[in-house]
Structure 1
Amino acid sequence: MHTPEELRKLRAGLGEIIADAPWRDGDALADVPERMVLVASELATNAIRHGQPPTEVRLLRTDAEFVLDVLDHDPDTPPEPSDASTFASGGRGLQIAQRLSLDVGWYTADESKHVWASFPISAEPAAE
């Protein structure tokens, strides 16, 4: 992924995939799909701007969570939240991800850097 057109396709494709998740009208989690699409777009944009190509986006699922995994091929540059001012036109991708998801993290593997964000699937409590 390298272009704005590919980001548009990412947003549309992700929206279609998560449309089948168990969201219900009036559910407290009904805005999760929109948050996931926004976070995927922000993390992919960061990977394109600050990482090395190709950028890949994967959607993983556990019983309780969706996990967005965005990878680029620059394992030596850690993701860092920016000190973007209120009036800056960019630089808030990680901050947005941290606010809209359950958790955000990163790791390196096989010459790539993975930045991930997790989201709840349903309001049902996880079994212990």
Structure 2
Amino acid sequence: MKPPRSAPPPAHAVELRRWSLTSGDDLHAMRSELTGELSDRRLGDGELGERMTLAATELASNALRHGLPPVQVQLLRTPEDLIIAVSDGDVTGVPQSDGDGGLVAGGRGLLIVGAVADDLCWHADGTVKYVWASFLG
């Protein structure tokens, strides 16, 4: 896996929904609500919705496990893409891969997201780090 590209989420993206997470219970609720939100808006029915929900779960789980509060998950929309953006307060925790395609000090979350998303990026703006995945929608 190549490292996530360094880029902020698109400034013109419109926020459709936001979740604040503090625990695994919040993660479970977010996953269920995201699935419903995608279906209700007819944005991610079927396979696209499954890929987006998987990406949101992996990125949010990583942020809860390795990041710093507050952890937030956003569902964003541009004219071209749907975006899952996860933010946390650890601006020094840069997502990176080791030479073998695994992850430094971590599991396989970013590998999974990199496989199911059309693009995977990260950005730190001073107080917040974003890891985000886009899906052509």
Q: TM-score, normalised by structure 2?
A: 0.75
Paired amino acid for 2:124 = T
Paired amino acid for 1:4 = G
Residues of 1 paired with 2:79 and 2:95: CA distance?
Answer: 28
Paired amino acid for 2:33 = G
Contact 1:81-1:92 at 8 Å conserved across structures:
no
What is the Cα deviation at residue 16 of structure 1? 1.3
Which is higher, the Rg of structure 1 or of structure 2?
Answer: 1
- Number of residue pairs matched by the alignment: 111
Q: Which whole-Å deviations, capped at 9, do the CAs of 1:2-49 have from their partners, x for residues lacking one?
A: 21111111101111111122567xxxxx30101100110000010111
Q: Tell me, which stretches of 5 or more residues in structure 1 are unaligned?
A: 25-29, 85-89, 122-128
Q: Does the C-alpha gap of structure 1 residues 78 and 15 become closer, same or farther in structure 2, counting only changes over 3 Å?
A: same
Q: Does the C-alpha gap of structure 1 residues 120 and 77 become closer, same or farther in structure 2, counting only changes over 3 Å?
A: same
> 1:64: which partner in 2?
80
1:96-107 pair list within 5 angstroms:
96-107=112-123
Residues of 2 paired with 1:50 and 1:79: CA distance?
Answer: 10
Q: TM-score, normalised by structure 1?
A: 0.80
Q: Which whole-Å deviations, capped at 9, do the CAs of 1:75-121 have from their partners, x for residues lacking one?
A: 1110124626xxxxx70110000000000000012401000000121
Higher RCO structure, 1 or 2 (CA under 8 Å, sep 6+): 2
> 1:27: which partner in 2?
none
> RMSD of aligned C-alpha atoms?
1.7
1:39 aligns with 2:62: no
Paired amino acid for 1:64 = E
1:15 aligns with 2:35: yes
1:93 to 93, 109, 112: 109
Q: Does the C-alpha gap of structure 1 residues 23 and 9 become closer, same or farther in structure 2, counting only changes over 3 Å?
A: closer
